[in-house]
Amino acid sequence: MKKLILIASLLTSILAQGQEYTFISDGLTLLPMQELVKKEPPADFEPVYYEDGTQVAFKEVLPLIMDQKLIPRMFVNENGEYKALVVKSTLKNEDIRIVYENIPESLAKSGYSFGNPESDTVIINIDGGPENDLKTYVFEFTFNVQGGIDENNYFLINMRESQTLYPEETEKQEISWDQAKMYNAKTAKTLNDLIGFFKSQNKKVYVVGGSYGSFVGLKSIVDYKNTADGYLLMVGRLDMTQEVSNAYSKGLKATFEEDAVTPIIGEKSDNIYTVNMRKIASALSRDEKYTELLKDTDLSNVIYIYSEIDQSVGKLTEKEIAFLKSKNAEVVSVKIKHGKYFELLLKEGLAMLLDD
């Protein structure tokens, strides 16, 4: 089916043994996403199973796969031949957790994990946005395929932003400025707690954050010091343009002209969720000037990638660039649209971050 490449570009499989399902032969293994995207099964492929072992026709589950309501997991024999497909339901918010032995329950619910828990290297990602839902299988695809990560060698976590725990809170009524700041404080604490826990497990811990996630990374360093082994921060700012940040704090639309310097201020959204997400984003940048807050902090373990044509957050100013360099951070300039940072920057950024 030609549409499978599109499906696979949105979703990913976890490398595991076939005996996870009793109806799958012990001799079969789960195909990594990097291989699944290279070869499509025939439209009449069989057998296809639900997780409980019930057989179903591929054509019946295909629309649900396309809508990201079911996850395809292809099992192959030792020659790489497709032998069985299992379709897995996506996780409900309350079922998301970090699967790691002996992790405290308070931390187990603070993210979604995949990869090898026995690895000595942990990668913690903070999504852009902010958003009130947490990416799970799309996160796997992003790091496995776009990031070129071999999940056998790393344990990866997509960390919750605090508002994702109870998303209904930001959908019903407009939050206050103090609430917006509280959400960010909790998110930064979660990051610090995860770093601390996995460092206590004798792991190397690396933090990845793009857009809003990059601001969370900076706030965690401000609030809890530079505790991770390395940080890859992409398409954010240190000192956000005040006019833009002020607008966002009121729920107004705010972007930049093509020069990535001149603000464009729009109207307040009539969508409560949009207003609240803008407030949360602004609460990390309106009153915080990270060139001041981090003036006594060494950032030699930070890789900072920014775009010269970023119309969402603007490009770094000369002051911001000079500050990062003065603190020994590695600064990389690119020319990409804001929304393309994972697709175009993640693989290169991770290679730099993980290069010991």
Q: Say if residue 319 is in the same domain as residue 347.
A: yes
Q: Say if residue 138 is in the same domain as residue 218.
A: yes
Q: Say if residue 269 is in the same domain as residue 123.
A: yes
Q: Say if residue 271 is in the same domain as residue 129.
A: yes
* pLDDT on residue 49: 93
Q: Say if residue 24 is in the same domain as residue 172.
A: no
In the listed set 61, 89, 117, which residue is the last one of a domain according to the structure?
A: 89
CA torsion angle 329 236 276 223 (round to 10): 10
Q: Say if residue 20 is in the same domain as residue 82.
A: yes
**Contact, 154 vs 253, CB < 8 A?**
no
Of residues 48 and 9, which shows the higher confidence score? 48
The total of structural domains in the chain comes to 2
**Complete DSSP assignment for 266-287:** EEEPS-HHHHHHHHHHHTTTSS
Q: 174: domain CATH number?
A: 3.40.50.1820
Q: Say if residue 99 is in the same domain as residue 72.
A: no
**Contact, 37 vs 9, CB < 8 A?**
yes
Averaged pLDDT for residues 2-16: 42
Structure tokens at 143: 């790091």
**Complete DSSP assignment for 185-208:** HHHHHHHHHHHHHHHHTT-EEEEE
Show the beta-strand stretches assigned E in the chain: 29-30, 48-50, 70-76, 82-89, 111-115, 121-126, 155-159, 204-210, 230-234, 252-256, 263-268, 302-307, 330-334
Distance linking the first and last C-alpha atoms of the chain? 42
Taking each helix axis from N to C end, the angle separating 272-282 and 177-200, rounded to the nearest 10 degrees, works out to 60
Task: Provide the domain limits for residue 17.
Answer: 4-89
| Distance from C-alpha of 163 to C-alpha of 273, rounded to nearest angstrom | 11
Q: Say if residue 72 is in the same domain as residue 101.
A: no
Q: Say if residue 233 is in the same domain as residue 259.
A: yes
pLDDT digits (tens, 9 = 90+) for 70-128: 878 889 999 989 999 998 877 777 789 999 999 999 899 999 999 999 999 999 999 99
Averaged pLDDT for residues 197-202: 97
pLDDT digits (tens, 9 = 90+) for 132-185: 989 887 888 889 888 989 888 999 999 999 999 999 999 999 999 999 999 999
CA torsion angle 74 77 82 84 (round to 10): -50
Least Cα distance to 94 among 29, 160, 17, 18 occurs for 160
In the listed set 89, 116, 146, which residue is the last one of a domain according to the structure?
A: 89
Position 7 pLDDT exceeds 50:
no
Q: Say if residue 45 is in the same domain as residue 177.
A: no
In the listed set 89, 115, 139, which residue is the last one of a domain according to the structure?
A: 89
How big is the chain by its Cα radius of gyration, in Å?
A: 21
* pLDDT on residue 19: 47
| Ramachandran category for residue 173: left, alpha or beta (phi over 0 → left; psi -120 to 50 → alpha) | beta
pLDDT-derived band at 58 (thresholds 50, 70, 90) equals: very high
Q: Say if residue 122 is in the same domain as residue 62.
A: no
Q: What is the pTM of this model?
A: 0.83
Position 12 pLDDT exceeds 50:
no
Q: Say if residue 239 is in the same domain as residue 186.
A: yes
**What is the amino acid identity at position 328?**
N
The β-bridge partners of 50 are 87
Exposed / middle / buried, residue 22 (Cβ in 10 Å: 0-12, 13-18, 19+): exposed
